[in-house]
Structure 1
């Protein structure tokens, strides 16, 4: 059996290895358009590669995917996070689970993961063709004919083909799959940070607050987690999660919206006001600038006092009801104008791709073209940060490689 895998990224290599495992003796070819394979793996997690997540509850795991969670819930029963960890460890990659459940190689180097995938592919006799992009596919009897970009090689026939080309930032990048009869969900960015060019909060760059609740004003959309203030605006897991679940909505709003931040992660403003009165009652002679709620970093506390028009030198015992209520309102419902986004180009994640309606998720086979399979982010699947996007690549790649 002759198998082509289109795309030399995480999903492509894992699918090729799965073909090798399930179909010994198969002739497997990986075609990668760029000159380098596994380039996204190389830069992921700051070069450390967040290979998966330590969460083993399938129900909880599936909730980390704004798109595709329902379908992955079933797929994870075939190949889940525990299977991923076992797969790599069985091949000599020691892994470590961080307190935040992110899983990294003990080496703290993505090269360890790359070496493992390439080594395993070599064992299965996989041939890798870098700089060889596929232009079109067509059915030829029982086989599929591949035509290559810039005539980099002659068209060739394959018994099975797995598409693992990754996310495309533009719909035009998916036109060749749409031409085959697949429904395409228009791609828009996911996992981006918020730009706030007009907000003085940017002066607090480097401040981390954990945990906060961030929400989009006027929408039923919120996320919890650490928030990082940057020189361009806001980032960190809470913001990235919010951007992922709001990817389509925020695109429609052209990234012009207001974000509300609950700095203390407590829903009742009255409760926070009570906590402030208790703090003041315990330290009436202390200045409000020097005696703060422990959850709030010092620089942010000073910033919020200024925003609430409260002098830092004012003693707690002299604080008036209006001032305390104003501070409590800011702590629970602080609003900032977002004017654009910043995506990390090396690690961009897209919402959109080949519609899940076009794929049989039990096998990852195309409903439009028998013998064609999909794996990874070319599908309309994306997860929040924490190793979830790689896990989707391993799971779909493993299932696609069974060629069921």
Structure 2
């Protein structure tokens, strides 16, 4: 009989982290990872443009949880047990030093995700974790009794090529719809998966031909909702991206999916009210009377964006500040403080495949990450209905959950 003490389904970040920590703490246990691909850690490999955004330099649990549209309340306790500092310490003890970038993201000093992959493979080998590749799970059966009524093992797992038995089962399969279906068949509730980190597709004269232009700090809201975001905004070949958009896509994942990714956004490029902006423009009218509006950007806006908004306000390229009439001032203030854009569709943000959805959080004991429906069944990572904004937060959720699972086991 192919028996293991602990089986981890999923050879990604959470799966390897759980397996290594279990095997290190309990060297007498037989620990195996079942990975459906011919190699594991694929998301680790492509994260952060191939550099692996390991975590984020936020060291206060109550602040860290604010980056999780789903999971904020549930992760507060776990983050008090295993946090960013613990992640840094874990990797450094194993020879992987991390660095903090200006925006708070943390990467290995090598700037290569291969460093993280090598660390995991070395540690797994060192602690005798058996990694079984090309093992796609097709069935999970809880509990089996022998003739005298004793439970021989708690789980039977069938793959396409083998059958495994174990006493403890950890599911760390990320956004895998087939595994979600198996868990649903076992009685777990699954929140429907929808994309969480994505950019907005927008066709609009005001942003055509200016890809790469960044407005450093804007306010954005989705018209007709309470969804709001702020931060840098990047114009792209197909629309808009950067943190302001990505945060909105994460927090609005479910609602925007319901709208089939067709909605309106209102942008305040200058973070001022319409009235305050008018006053500033009137001052500019006095101060720059002889200059053309087109060639004298205000509010520290990028020149090309300013020029697009000026033209959209029915102001000609050769119009001087002194020549602006009331209607033109109103138009320009409107474009600067409440410009409305039509969003028609989404695009994946780089290779950051993140989804909202997964095992219902009410069915998990977050002191142990154990299922409330089945003893000895544990979860870690994005298989749960937890997701985060971009910046290393999704990995921190994986490390924290996997570590607590290993402590529990």
Shorter-chain TM-score range: over 0.9
What SS is found at the alignment partner of 1:250?
helix
Shift of 1:117: 1.5
Structure 1 match to 2:306: 301
CA contact (8 A) 2:218 2:268 kept: yes
The two structures have a TM-score, normalised by structure 2, of 0.94
The CA deviation string for residues 358-393 of structure 1, in whole angstroms up to 9 with x for no partner, is 111100011111111000000000000111001000
Structure 1 match to 2:131: 128
Structure 1 match to 2:168: 160
Q: Distance in 2 between matches of 1:199 and 1:301?
A: 13
CA contact (8 A) 2:370 2:379 kept: yes
**Alignment partner of 1:145 out of 112, 132, 155:** 155
Q: CA RMSD in A?
A: 1.5
The two structures have a TM-score, normalised by structure 1, of 0.95
What SS is found at the alignment partner of 2:217?
strand
Structure 1 match to 2:148: none
Structure 2 match to 1:43: 46
Q: Distance in 2 between matches of 1:6 and 1:295?
A: 51
Shift of 1:270: 1.2
The CA deviation string for residues 203-256 of structure 1, in whole angstroms up to 9 with x for no partner, is 221111111111100111111111111111111111010010001101111111
CA contact (8 A) 2:200 2:240 kept: yes
Structure 1 match to 2:242: 236
CA contact (8 A) 1:56 1:80 kept: yes
Q: Distance in 2 between matches of 1:279 and 1:23?
A: 70
In structure 1, stretches of 5+ residues that fail to align are none
CA gap 1:129/1:344 in 2 versus in 1, 3 angstroms = farther
Q: Distance in 2 between matches of 1:273 and 1:121?
A: 63
Q: Distance in 2 between matches of 1:148 and 1:311?
A: 70
Structure 1 match to 2:147: none
Query: Is residue 260 of structure 2 the alignment partner of residue 260 of structure 1?
Result: no
Query: Is residue 110 of structure 2 the alignment partner of residue 103 of structure 1?
Result: no
Q: Distance in 2 between matches of 1:343 and 1:196?
A: 14
**Alignment partner of 1:366 out of 361, 371, 378:** 371
Q: Distance in 2 between matches of 1:210 and 1:143?
A: 57
Query: Is residue 23 of structure 2 the alignment partner of residue 17 of structure 1?
Result: no
Structure 1 match to 2:192: 186
The CA deviation string for residues 315-372 of structure 1, in whole angstroms up to 9 with x for no partner, is 1122222212211111111111111111248421110100111111100011111111
In structure 2, stretches of 5+ residues that fail to align are 145-150
Shift of 1:41: 0.6
Q: Distance in 2 between matches of 1:317 and 1:21?
A: 74
CA contact (8 A) 1:4 1:162 kept: yes
